């Protein structure tokens, strides 16, 4: 199925096509696992989130709106996974066992984003403090709410709001 894009695969999955599901998994699972590991250092949780995500894709493929709402299949998949990861953080918080948050070198997605933007915007992003960049990434790129971002990063909602405001101010100053 190399000539079929991810959106077409999701539409085929909605019709119950197992081969399309396997192809979507083959194409997206390595990328998704890396992206999840950047946010959670617990491999067991990442594996659970991956399983929950693809189960949700199988069950909800018919609800994918796609290009009709300027969405992509990969973006839809990431939204599901990010929300499942937030759910995992919430479950662990209730069990009083915090998840280790991964602290690694800049992700390729961060570097590509910075490189794809103008030199000014890319430089401003690179110059942001890591905690501000994490909030921007979660809220702007991943589309998470303040509450979801707080759970994901393990900080209070007020801290997320403060960091988001500081990030906007820093970006504005860097670009003016």
Are 89 and 99 spatial neighbours (Cβ–Cβ below 8 Å)? yes
Length of the chain, in residues: 176
Please tell me the predicted confidence (pLDDT) of residue 109: 47
pLDDT score, position 117: 46
pLDDT value of position 152? 78
> What is the pLDDT, as a whole number, of residue 119?
61
Specify the pLDDT at position 48. Answer: 94
For residue 108, the model assigns a pLDDT of 46
| pLDDT less than 70: residues of the chain | 1-2, 66-70, 94-122
Q: Which residues contact 159 (CB under 8 A, 6 or more apart)?
A: 150
The pLDDT value given to residue 54: 96
Calpha distance 101→120 (Å, rounded)? 30
Tokens encoding 69? 């709402």
Answer whether 78's CB lies under 8 Å from 117's CB: no
Write down the pLDDT at residue 49.
95
Task: Write down the pLDDT at residue 52.
Answer: 95
Distance CA 56, CA 10 (A): 12
How many Å apart are CA 147 and CA 161, to the nearest integer?
A: 10
Q: DSSP state, 40?
A: -
Residues with Cβ within 8 Å of 89's Cβ and at least 6 positions away in sequence, in order, are 40, 99, 151, 152, 154
């Amino acid at each position: 199925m190399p000539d079929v894009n991810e959106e077409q695969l999701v539409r085929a999955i909605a019709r119950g096509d197992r081969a399309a599901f396997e192809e979507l998994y083959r194409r997206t699972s390595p990328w998704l696992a890396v992206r999840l590991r950047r946010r959670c250092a617990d491999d067991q949780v990442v594996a659970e989130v991956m399983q929950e995500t693809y189960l949700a894709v199988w069950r909800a493929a018919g609800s994918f709106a796609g290009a009709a709402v300027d969405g992509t299949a990969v973006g839809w998949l990431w939204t599901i996974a990010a929300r499942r990861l937030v759910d995992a953080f919430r479950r662990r918080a209730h069990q009083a066992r915090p998840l280790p948050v991964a602290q690694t070198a800049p992700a390729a997605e961060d570097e590509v984003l910075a490189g794809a933007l103008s030199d000014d915007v890319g430089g401003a992003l690179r110059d942001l403090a890591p905690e501000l960049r994490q909030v921007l990434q979660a809220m702007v790129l991943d589309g998470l709410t303040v509450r979801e971002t707080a759970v994901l990063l393990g900080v209070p909602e007020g801290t997320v709001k403060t960091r988001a405001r500081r990030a906007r101010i820093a970006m504005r100053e860097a670009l003016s």
